[in-house]
Structure 1
Amino acid sequence: MKSKRIISLVISSSIIITNFSSVSAMGLSKELNPMTVPIKTEAVSASEEKNVKLSKEKAKDLSKKIIKDYFNKTVDEKEYEVYAALINNGEDENYSWDISWRKNTMNSSTYMDVSINANTGKVLRASNRYNVEGENSGISKITEDEGKKKAEEFLKRINPEQFKETKYIKESTHSIYGRGGVNTSYSYRFARQINGIPYNDDGLFVEVDGVKGEVVSYNSNWEEGVKLTVPNKYLSIKEAEDIFRKESQVELKYITYRDKYDIEENSTRSKLVYMLDLPYDTMLDANEGKFMNKDLYKSIEKDLTDAERKEINSKLKIKKPLDKEINEKRALEIANATIKELYGDGYKIGNIRYYENKDKIYGDSNAWSIDFNKKIEGDKGYDGGNITIDALTENVTNLYKNYYKENEKLEANISWEEAYKIAIDAVAKYSPEKFNEINTKAITNQSSIDNLTKQEDKRYIFNFPRMVNGIPFDENGITVWIGANKGQLYEYSVNWNRNMKFDSPVNLIQKEESKNILFSKDKPQLSYRKINKSNDYTKPQWETKLIYTMGDSYGYNLSGLRVDAFTGKLLNASGEDIDENIEIYMEKIKGNPYEKELTILANNGIIDTANFQAEKEITKMDFIKMLVNAKGYRPNLLKDSMSLKFESGVSSNDVNYKYLQLAVYYGILENKEGKFDIKEKVTRAEMAKTLVKFLGYDKLANSKDIFSLNVSDVKDIKSNELGYMAIAKGLGILEVKNNKLRPKSNATWNELSIGIYRVLDNIKRGY
């Protein structure tokens, strides 16, 4: 009887499917599970409470009222465990109460959190997250725009006065990273405006659960009592842009290219790009037309003279790689000698590890990694670190030495220039073969040097980027940390991928053209900003100024944009072309009966917005791509995957090959001998079968003599397809028109999209 009931539910389309393995594979983000957090009921002493006007009990009562007013949720103290903490936010009398209410049952969890100013009672943060096992859809039920309306309605109700003073800021939709599966929440930022001008980082922030359609969190960052005026005269946007253009320089650089279809950890591809080097801290005084803190950010440079470089080159001892890798005994000899030379006697060897350096990041061969330590006098703990030895060259490729807080009491008696010489000598000694492949110029500013004596961490840091064809490749290079007290080498780090491929710098567009491209997408943005006038970071002197910074319609600033040095195309920080297709796609789907679902699929990166045509028939490759995107396009999972056994005509270097491999990994395709025609069309029956398998209902679909379909074209459905078609019809994966399922018809983009959306809607998440 139980199985018959399930089958009738399927066919009547009211089944609720819970598939935890599918959810796990999709990588859907979990809500916070308070079962993993220890509960504390008393976290504040009576003496601490004397610092604030609001007692703990009053804060708890107020938090319950806020939860009721904001989220219409009643807190019964008999049912919830409570955590209370009094937080000092870094300034005198700036305390807040953090009150958390938590409840767990066998199949549900609730976590509610409120942060309140402990003197004024102002709400700083509030959240309400609850989950019932098996009741959360695997995809949003509302669009981003619908969520925005809910966020606005919420703010109008709970904080109308401040909300009136804000402006919604849409975040960039141009992802730099890969496709990671489905996201079911939306975040909204409403920036504070004073006199119609944005004020610093003040604003209201709201998160909406896209499945429940409810506000789940609220944050307020709002400085009270601010009264600002607009100067009678200040720079226009055009005047500000002219200054930025004049003061900015364009640099030619290599960057690692990782597009959304190729995000392996150690990519070997690069792009040659133009980047803008913005002046100082990029804040332009809108009144005076000068860059803020220009003197504070005054650069100090140091490089080798020709004579110094010649002398160092004459002493370089470049080691020819050995025919055989060194053993553990030899690695220990080198490590002990290096440690003694740098840090003295008394250090003991700890863990010894041998690394197979498959990705050749830290040199060209495998390496020995060795820990070392010694007990500090006076029972103050242990001092030590780690050293890594290249197994073929015997060079030190990485070195780390602990830096103790006690060092803050020591004076900085080594100058920056002296530390530079020590760092250069270290590179010449430990990486002689790379010495002439780095940029030896070091740049700092006077403020950093002046403030070093006041900092706990008294170390100078030198970054020497790799140079290729005379062009910087900043992602590779050598970093050296030198102590300002004794000139001790605290860290030596080599990041160097010899497998990288670099294009020759020929037939490039002009620098000025690249600058025009960058400024065409990025305009100066006017805002109020708090500026520290003091050169002493320990004694800040704040002043609010009207300033210009650079911003653009993509949500990037110019430091995140690049220009392809060959094509002039605008790129993001990962070297991807800036995709403007989403706007075209949104216009294309207006009026589509599935506009809402198509919008949600696009926002999650599941649908191919560039090639979408509602009534176009899909290919097997189209189908595979959407299914893999729904699970999460993660090529890093393929690191040790075997080659495909079937013939597809797709090169192993092609993006489509990775999609086919991931389809095998996720169980969508079988890796068996045969042919797979990626251009072949997909029938509605084939689509139904694959999507039902995707849900994990293969066995149910193959059950004999339990399914029937009341459609006029049932005779066109093969017996081995009947169960799949019945389940697909019941769940709305396939829609019936004119009492027909049309199993032999080729599926369209519209039909595939709504099918995948409803599959995801029927995959229920746990916590």
Structure 2
Amino acid sequence: MVRIWRRLLAWGLMALLLLSFFPGIAVAGDTPAVSLEEAIRAVKDNFNIPKEYNIFTSSYNSYDNRQTWSLHWNAPGEPGGSFNADVDAKTGEILNMNTWKPEKRPEPGLRLPVISAAEARRVAVELLNRLAASYVPELQPLPDDNQLIPLNNYGPVSYTFRWQRVVNGIPFPGNGVTITVRGDDGQVTNYNLNWTKVDFPAATGAISPEKAREVFASAGMLELQYYLQPPVRPLAAGEKRPVLLVYRLSHPSRGLIDALSGKPLDLGNGGWFDKGGAGGMGDASLEMARKAAALQGGTQSKPLSPEEMKEIEKTAKLISREEAIAAVKKWVDIPAGLTLRSANLYADWQDPEIRSWNLTWSSDKPQTGKVNFMSARVNAGNGELLGFDLPSTPSGNDRSGKLDRKAAQRLVEDFLQKVQPQRFKEVRLDENSRPGWEPVIMEDGKNPAVQYFYYRRLVNGIPFPGNGINVTVDAVAGRITSYNLNWGNFDFPAATKILDGQQAVETFLKNRPLTLSYTRIYSPGGPGQGELRLVYQPLGDTSSATSDMIDARTGQFLDWEGKPIAQQPRPYRFNDIAGNFAEKEINLLGQAGLFGEYGDAFRPDENITVVSMLRAMLMARNGVWGYKDMKDEEILKRARDEKWLQEDLQAGATVSRELLAKFLIRFLNLERAARVEGIYKVPYSDAGSLAPGSLGYVALTWGLGILKGNGSTFEPNHTVTRAEAAAALVRALQVKQ
């Protein structure tokens, strides 16, 4: 008997040991068909893993009816490096791979790709046919000609290629293959196979595209809204963020129409879907807060600036800390045992002209089950209560609330009518803005312990989601635990000369047509792989960015900053440079998004202007984002800040060869060397015509191979063409300092 007991104990300990190594293995039936050794060999047979990555670990995962081996190779010590792969433990298929190796400190100069996009695609296609041959018949390549190639030396250029799954002739954006190839050595750095193995609903019985358009229009998928551009920089005194009139895809279905029933898809509470290549722009918000700086006086009084005097005058009119506390107590009972810990006066992040008191209380001796913390915000100008927060339901979230949704709403609205009587008339409850994880009614019929409410601001009868009131109710204790007012003072454009609803739908669907497709619908607590549905959804051009929002006047798609997507940086393939001496250099700069003033026309023989040259230099140094639409005056200012522009020139002035030499030597941070006198010679017969102080710049551009003039002459006053400027800029970027 003792021997049997010892044997059972030994088997039990072995089972626990196996579970510690393979936590996903729960039962014998879950044992992987593919062994760890087979998984390792599959990866090593298809990829070259650097020998120095000699620290190896693995894990086994079982989830959503899928078993995988996760394999990890790492390099010891610094600078490190890693290679990771996941292998299907049932089929032996490689599901994904990614690798990273440290880059040596980059040398100055342009890092040109050695491998062309066409060569990289051949590498990717070969790998696709080797690893996913059985899936290739259902894969469709997506356009890859919209990739910007950055002109920097921070890392190698990489090319990314994507294939989308098509089933029964219907796209499934959530499934496909992605492969990334390095442009310097042609090595694959990322491979990802996303494939759902389920039965697909047949497309028979699906409504027509025309019927889907009718449903889209009649359901009110697009809502006319005011859109507040998020702050990307601190606002100047008196400056306000602009508000735009937009049509926005804000329907609870997120634009999905059930292709079989012909009705907008009900995603359910907290549901979401796999967008895949559909794109879309989510709401963006960025909180910026500035604390007031303490003034320290010295022994000798110094005069105050007008700005400082203005700030002092504003602050003198604000309510005191004690008055702010009294404003809180007027509407909220501060729990017993809490002590005021901080009181900060700060400028509102939306409108610096508004000052607010931020107050916090806490307990000296926190106790379980009691309120130990509280915070509140008060408008320091008029004593208005802007918000307060108490800990959520000390009684526990697992208890059923005594207030149902309607009772909690009555509690909230009674409070708002007292504390914000006028603004309550200017808001409307938005049931679609509840947190997805908090249902209105629990599955067992009980009320949730916490209820959330969001009231959107209405301006001229038009929703303004950027402003509103959030309130949280502890439904167990029957009290409000959180109230926050977000309400700015903005200039709202009149809703005149805008597209009507039908025009907005037509404009939206012209660029994002309703496409019959498969998608996966997820819900909290639902199957991990989601429910596969046949839907119509507005899919955009996969080769370019898209969004859920259009300008209500122009119909242009807008990004999260409210700027037209069509104006975002993109690569250019110039159609007028064939045979030009600088064709190669111009093509390179076009792929990086430079010199796009005329779209896909470069105009190589046109004279380059000062602002066009400086804009290209800024883009080459810092990247294209933010400079494409920057005003000419700001470009000149940035160039002066960089010390590239030291002459008094207008934006539209032409650039002489002598001036270009100065621009590019300053660009390379070699001006100090260029100013050294008495050491330079140039092989130009017209060197005597150079302006005083220019010899060093011209000599350096000649020695570095950036500018060679016309052979025996430099012709300093020669007006530089756009082609000549592009060639010189690329040569400057290739200089190794």
1:752 and 2:729 aligned = no
Tell me the residue number matched to 1:324: 317
Distance 1:220 1:48, change over 3 A: farther
Aligned partners of 1:255 and 1:473 also within 8 Å: yes
Aligned partners of 1:167 and 1:191 also within 8 Å: yes
1:505 and 2:505 aligned = no
Deviation at 1:254, TM superposition (A): 1.9
Moved more, 133-142 or 460-469: 133-142
| 2:210 partner amino acid | K
SS state at 1:408 partner: coil
Following the alignment from structure 1 to structure 2, what is the Cα–Cα distance between the partners of residues 289 and 375?
60
1:69 and 2:46 aligned = yes
Tell me the residue number matched to 2:660: 687
1:417 and 2:375 aligned = no
User: Structure 2 residue aligned with 1:241, among 207, 213, 224?
Assistant: 213
1:576 and 2:558 aligned = no
Distance 1:658 1:448, change over 3 A: farther
1:125 and 2:125 aligned = no
Distance 1:287 1:486, change over 3 A: same
Tell me the residue number matched to 2:140: 167
Any stretches of 5+ residues in structure 2 without a counterpart? 1-15, 272-313
Tell me the residue number matched to 1:610: 598
Q: How does 1:693-732 map to 2 (within 5 A)?
A: 693-710=666-683, 717=690, 720-732=693-705
Following the alignment from structure 1 to structure 2, what is the Cα–Cα distance between the partners of residues 336 and 345?
12
SS state at 1:132 partner: coil
Deviation at 1:159, TM superposition (A): 3.7
Q: How does 1:193-592 map to 2 (within 5 A)?
A: 193-199=166-172, 201-210=174-183, 214-223=187-196, 225-228=197-200, 230-248=202-220, 250-257=222-229, 263-264=232-233, 268-276=241-249, 278=251, 280-293=253-266, 324-335=317-328, 340-341=333-334, 344-357=335-348, 359-360=350-351, 365-374=354-363, 383-403=372-392, 407-432=396-421, 434-440=423-429, 442=431, 448-451=439-442, 458-498=449-489, 500-531=490-521, 537=525, 543-553=531-541, 560-565=548-553, 567-579=554-566, 586-589=573-576, 591=578
Following the alignment from structure 1 to structure 2, what is the Cα–Cα distance between the partners of residues 563 and 554?
21
Following the alignment from structure 2 to structure 1, what is the Cα–Cα distance between the partners of residues 169 and 448?
42
Following the alignment from structure 2 to structure 1, what is the Cα–Cα distance between the partners of residues 662 and 674?
9
Following the alignment from structure 1 to structure 2, what is the Cα–Cα distance between the partners of residues 490 and 137?
58
Following the alignment from structure 1 to structure 2, what is the Cα–Cα distance between the partners of residues 593 and 488?
76
Q: How many residues align?
A: 659
User: Structure 2 residue aligned with 1:628, among 590, 600, 618?
Assistant: 618
SS state at 1:628 partner: helix
Between 1 and 2, higher relative CO (CA 8 Å, sep ≥ 6) is seen in 1
Aligned partners of 2:392 and 2:474 also within 8 Å: no
Moved more, 403-412 or 185-194: 403-412
SS state at 1:424 partner: helix
Following the alignment from structure 1 to structure 2, what is the Cα–Cα distance between the partners of residues 726 and 154?
50
Distance 1:400 1:746, change over 3 A: farther
Deviation at 1:705, TM superposition (A): 5.0
Deviation at 1:449, TM superposition (A): 1.8
Following the alignment from structure 1 to structure 2, what is the Cα–Cα distance between the partners of residues 453 and 636?
53
User: Structure 2 residue aligned with 1:99, among 72, 77, 82?
Assistant: 72
Aligned partners of 2:110 and 2:153 also within 8 Å: no
Aligned partners of 1:252 and 1:273 also within 8 Å: yes
Deviations 1:68-121 (Å, cap 9, x if unpaired)?
A: 732x343246xx555x4637575466454251413555xx55333333446655
Following the alignment from structure 1 to structure 2, what is the Cα–Cα distance between the partners of residues 581 and 333?
50
SS state at 2:20 partner: helix
Distance 1:398 1:694, change over 3 A: farther
Following the alignment from structure 1 to structure 2, what is the Cα–Cα distance between the partners of residues 717 and 104?
55
Aligned partners of 1:277 and 1:559 also within 8 Å: no
Deviations 1:163-200 (Å, cap 9, x if unpaired)?
A: 4532233489699xxx9999944443322222333335
Following the alignment from structure 2 to structure 1, what is the Cα–Cα distance between the partners of residues 190 and 45?
14
Deviation at 1:677, TM superposition (A): 1.8
Following the alignment from structure 1 to structure 2, what is the Cα–Cα distance between the partners of residues 594 and 419?
71
Deviation at 1:411, TM superposition (A): 0.9
SS state at 2:471 partner: strand
1:114 and 2:85 aligned = yes
Following the alignment from structure 1 to structure 2, what is the Cα–Cα distance between the partners of residues 501 and 392?
20
Deviation at 1:678, TM superposition (A): 1.8
| 1:504 partner amino acid | A
| 1:199 partner amino acid | F
Aligned partners of 1:256 and 1:271 also within 8 Å: yes
Aligned partners of 2:658 and 2:717 also within 8 Å: yes
SS state at 2:428 partner: coil
Aligned partners of 2:546 and 2:565 also within 8 Å: no
Following the alignment from structure 1 to structure 2, what is the Cα–Cα distance between the partners of residues 581 and 358?
27
SS state at 2:513 partner: strand
Tell me the residue number matched to 2:644: 668
Following the alignment from structure 1 to structure 2, what is the Cα–Cα distance between the partners of residues 293 and 335?
41
Deviation at 1:686, TM superposition (A): 1.6
Aligned partners of 1:412 and 1:453 also within 8 Å: no
Aligned partners of 2:595 and 2:616 also within 8 Å: yes
Distance 1:432 1:229, change over 3 A: closer
Distance 1:573 1:76, change over 3 A: closer
Distance 1:329 1:122, change over 3 A: farther
Deviation at 1:274, TM superposition (A): 3.2
| 1:484 partner amino acid | A
Distance 1:436 1:547, change over 3 A: closer
Deviation at 1:542, TM superposition (A): 5.5
TM-score, normalized by length of structure 1?
0.72
Deviation at 1:409, TM superposition (A): 0.8
Deviations 1:556-600 (Å, cap 9, x if unpaired)?
A: 8986131433x4555445433342898995252562555555455
SS state at 2:717 partner: coil
Following the alignment from structure 2 to structure 1, what is the Cα–Cα distance between the partners of residues 681 and 415?
78
| 1:283 partner amino acid | L
Distance 1:751 1:634, change over 3 A: closer
Tell me the residue number matched to 2:308: none
| 2:483 partner amino acid | Y
Aligned partners of 1:174 and 1:579 also within 8 Å: no
SS state at 1:461 partner: strand
Deviations 1:648-671 (Å, cap 9, x if unpaired)?
A: xxxxx982233233334444345x
| 2:492 partner amino acid | F
Deviations 1:600-647 (Å, cap 9, x if unpaired)?
A: 54454443343642221122121222223334479999xxxxxxxxxx
Following the alignment from structure 1 to structure 2, what is the Cα–Cα distance between the partners of residues 699 and 710?
22
Aligned partners of 1:63 and 1:114 also within 8 Å: no
Following the alignment from structure 2 to structure 1, what is the Cα–Cα distance between the partners of residues 525 and 42?
41
Aligned partners of 2:228 and 2:466 also within 8 Å: yes
| 2:509 partner amino acid | F
Aligned partners of 1:376 and 1:382 also within 8 Å: no
Aligned partners of 1:358 and 1:366 also within 8 Å: no
Deviations 1:499-542 (Å, cap 9, x if unpaired)?
A: x322222343433223222222221122222346x9x8457895
Following the alignment from structure 2 to structure 1, what is the Cα–Cα distance between the partners of residues 77 and 676?
38
Following the alignment from structure 1 to structure 2, what is the Cα–Cα distance between the partners of residues 466 and 139?
51
Percentage of identical aligned residues: 20
Deviation at 1:756, TM superposition (A): 3.3
